[in-house]
């Protein structure tokens, strides 16, 4: 019986590109912990308001404020307000800025209380931290812990949920000293510029440069284009977004997030072209997206999400090349995708998608090896895929996808055993696959994939009637799934239902003709 196969491209479109897509200049909404008067009085944290919204900042000297570049790069006036909104300071200009670390020092007309700066190099994983800012315009303190310290630039990764308006917020350690400044989030983590980078910038503070003049600098203009590009991407205007990212990169070639987001936009357009049957256009976009992801990685070698997206592009090209008959090139792309997801796991082993997607890539490569007669190599890949999906399930047991993919890997491994005189081993694996597909159906009752694959596994165990029931359920969910009609027809043949089987095979022909039109 022909095995009904999971639509790997559809799964990867969600898991590789969009579950990890990020907006580096924006903080996602989320719950926060209320502040106390004691926490408020520790130092002065201010609300930074501009034409395009509000964020946070804090005093680093009596007349100087620190915040993120992306908070004040947009055109228009900027005002600094106290927590009680009784004080409003005007910004006289910029005295120092650090593009790489997204930091700027603003000179204000007035004075405030500056907090003590701590030593960010002394921070270790597991340290308790708190962030003070203006999420949603309200003064709040949010607590969390340090999850990781990046090696290349010493940025801190915090396990803490922040809300819109937290950009530029100071991060305190348990002693009340500032050890960082919030800059970005990648749910469920937040990224923090180390305080030692701020300390260096404060020491470099020079003459005041008016905001209007400072914004004309090429790196700052690049920030503006990058933010515009993100907004256009979020509005599904992908070509326009790419044009803005192009401008940002031309102005400031070191802007890693512009490469990242431009690559993301190219992958997205590539998927749209692929869905419309424009394969060559899709391949060119995937290749361009891989190049952009590679550049983002060169600029920030610890960007797990850039590796994650590049792996998705490589997997897509691997499928395309394999379908064209270039098996060797397809396998090289699969191997490249596996290597990239391995690097993602190394950088952040608590993400679920990389394990799930690496498992898919290993199954796919295993099928290619099996087709070439390399059964030992295929079985090793299937076994590794099962381990990957098992880890994904441990990390997030409420997701149906890892169960579907583990079940499929178990089925493929069982098939190799059935074909090589190990029927007992095959039956054990088929039964395990059925258990996984059943679990997936419980989590995602509308998954045609889960029903279809469970039907194939039941048929392999000789349960043709049970298989037909699953195929019926899959067809009810997705009447256009060609493979399901074929598999149901084969099951009906086994039961001697010749006329009903022919009807299913005719349906397959009709659906295939419609696809070709």
Please say if the pLDDT value at position 447 is more than 70. Answer: yes
Q: Which tokens go with 241? A: 């977004």
Residue 65, sorted as left (phi over 0), alpha (psi -120 to 50) or beta, turns out to be beta
Other beta carbons within 10 angstroms of residue 302's beta carbon come to 18
Window from 75-89, 306-320, 480-494 with minimum mean pLDDT: 75-89
How far is the C-alpha of 19 from the C-alpha of 21, rounded, in Å? 6
Nearest Cα neighbor of 413 from 427, 399, 392, 394 is 427
Per-residue pLDDT of 350-372, as tens digits, reads 889 999 999 999 999 999 999 99
Mean pLDDT over 287-310 rounds to 95
Q: How many helices (H) and strands (E) does the chain have?
A: 19, 12
Per-residue pLDDT of 50-83, as tens digits, reads 877 789 999 999 999 999 999 999 889 998 988 7
Q: Which fold has domain 37-198?
A: Thrombin, subunit H (2.40.10)
3-state secondary structure of 59: strand
* Dihedral pair phi/psi, residue 95, rounded to 5°: -110, -20
Nearest Cα neighbor of 190 from 32, 337, 77 is 32
3-state secondary structure of 356: helix
Report the chain's terminal Cα–Cα distance, integer Å. 28
Q: Which tokens go with 239? A: 């070509």
Please say if the pLDDT value at position 141 is more than 50. Answer: yes
3-state secondary structure of 114: coil
What is the percent of the chain where pLDDT is above 90?
72
3-state secondary structure of 220: helix
Centroid of chain to Cα 99? 24
Label residue 458 exposed, middle or buried (CB < 10 Å: 0-12, 13-18, 19+). buried
Q: Which tokens go with 182? A: 């919030």
Please say if the pLDDT value at position 287 is more than 70. Answer: yes
Q: What is the DSSP letter of 14?
A: I
């Amino acid at each position: 019986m022909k095995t009904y196969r999971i639509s790997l491209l559809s799964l990867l479109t969600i898991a590789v590109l969009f579950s990890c897509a990020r907006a580096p200049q924006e903080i996602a909404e989320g719950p926060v912990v209320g502040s106390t008067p004691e926490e408020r009085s520790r130092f002065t944290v201010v609300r930074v308001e501009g034409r395009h919204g509000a964020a946070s900042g804090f005093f680093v000297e009596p007349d100087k404020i620190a915040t993120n570049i992306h908070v004040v790069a947009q055109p228009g006036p900027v005002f600094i307000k106290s927590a009680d909104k009784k004080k409003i300071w005007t910004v006289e200009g910029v005295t120092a800025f650090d593009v790489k670390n997204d930091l700027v020092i603003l000179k204000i007309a007035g004075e405030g209380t500056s907090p003590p700066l701590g030593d960010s190099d002394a921070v270790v994983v597991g340290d308790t931290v708190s962030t003070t800012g203006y999420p949603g315009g309200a003064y709040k303190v949010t607590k969390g812990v340090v999850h990781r310290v990046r090696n290349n630039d010493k940025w801190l990764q915090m396990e803490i949920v922040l809300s819109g308006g937290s950009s530029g917020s100071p991060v305190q350690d348990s002693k009340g000293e500032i050890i960082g400044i919030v800059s970005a989030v990648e749910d469920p983590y937040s990224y923090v510029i180390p305080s030692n980078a701020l300390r260096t910038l404060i020491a470099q503070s020079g003459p005041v440069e008016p905001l209007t003049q400072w914004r004309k600098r090429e790196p700052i203009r690049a920030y503006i284009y990058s933010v515009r590009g993100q907004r256009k991407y979020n509005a599904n205007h992908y070509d326009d977004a790419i044009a803005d990212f192009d401008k940002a990169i031309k102005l400031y070639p070191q802007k890693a997030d512009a490469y990242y987001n431009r690559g993301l936009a190219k992958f997205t357009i590539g998927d749209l072209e692929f869905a419309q049957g424009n394969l060559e256009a899709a391949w060119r976009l995937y290749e361009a997206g891989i190049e952009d992801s590679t550049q983002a990685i060169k600029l920030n070698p610890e960007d797990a999400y850039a590796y994650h997206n590049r792996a998705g592009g490589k997997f897509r090209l691997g499928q395309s090349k394999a379908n064209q008959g270039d098996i060797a090139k397809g396998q090289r792309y699969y191997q490249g995708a596996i290597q990239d997801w391995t690097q993602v796991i190394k950088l952040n082993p608590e993400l679920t998608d990389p394990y799930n997607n690496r498992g898919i890539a290993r199954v796919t490569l295993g099928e290619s090896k099996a087709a070439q007669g390399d059964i030992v190599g295929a079985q090793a890949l299937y076994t590794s895929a099962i381990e990957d999906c098992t880890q994904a399930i441990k990390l997030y047991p409420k997701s149906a996808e890892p169960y579907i993919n583990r079940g499929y890997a178990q089925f493929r491994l069982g098939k190799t055993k059935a074909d090589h005189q190990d029927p007992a081993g095959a039956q054990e694996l088929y039964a395990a696959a059925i258990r996984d597909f059943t679990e997936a159906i419980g989590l995602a009752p509308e998954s045609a994939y889960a029903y279809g694959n469970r039907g194939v596994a039941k048929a392999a165990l000789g349960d043709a009637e049970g298989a037909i029931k699953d195929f019926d359920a899959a067809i009810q969910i997705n009447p256009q799934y060609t493979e399901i009609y074929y598999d149901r027809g084969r099951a009906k043949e086994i039961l001697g239902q010749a006329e009903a089987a022919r009807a299913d095979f005719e349906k397959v022909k009709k659906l295939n003709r419609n696809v070709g039109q």
